[in-house]
Amino acid sequence: MNVSVRAANRRPAFNPGRAVISLRQGLIVLCLVTTCALFYLYTGVRGLSISYQVSQARQNQAELVEMGRRLRVELNNLRSPERLERAGGRLGLAPAPPERVRVLP
């Protein structure tokens, strides 16, 4: 019996140095790469959102610090003895005589 094998019908020899990737392995790698890319994009967008919130909070803090400074100045003006004496004079009040002043120990 004469069996001849044509070169086109021969199965290629297994070459251990050549990597053969099946469809399932390719899909798994593609899913992993896609997942990593989506995670990278998510962290980038989330980072931008957080940096925006931080800048807004810093601006709000600066405004509150300025408001606190202005309120302290206003409080000191309202508590000043000269202002209280003028307000008392307008209301018809006079300073107490020294004999009516009691000093607490």
Residue 28 lies in a domain: yes
Helix 23-79 crosses helix 81-90 at what angle (to 10 degrees)? Answer: 60
pLDDT tens profile 26-73: 999 999 999 999 999 999 999 999 999 999 999 999 999 999 999 999
Looking at the structure of the chain, the number of domains it has is 1
Residue 31: the pLDDT is 97
Residue 9: the pLDDT is 62
Residue 8 lies in a domain: no
pTM of the model: 0.54
Q: Provide the residue range defining the domain that includes 54.
A: 22-88
Amino acid at 44: G
Residue 12 lies in a domain: no
Sign, CA dihedral 58-64-66-68, equals negative
H helix runs in the chain, sequence order: 23-79, 81-90
Residue 96 lies in a domain: no
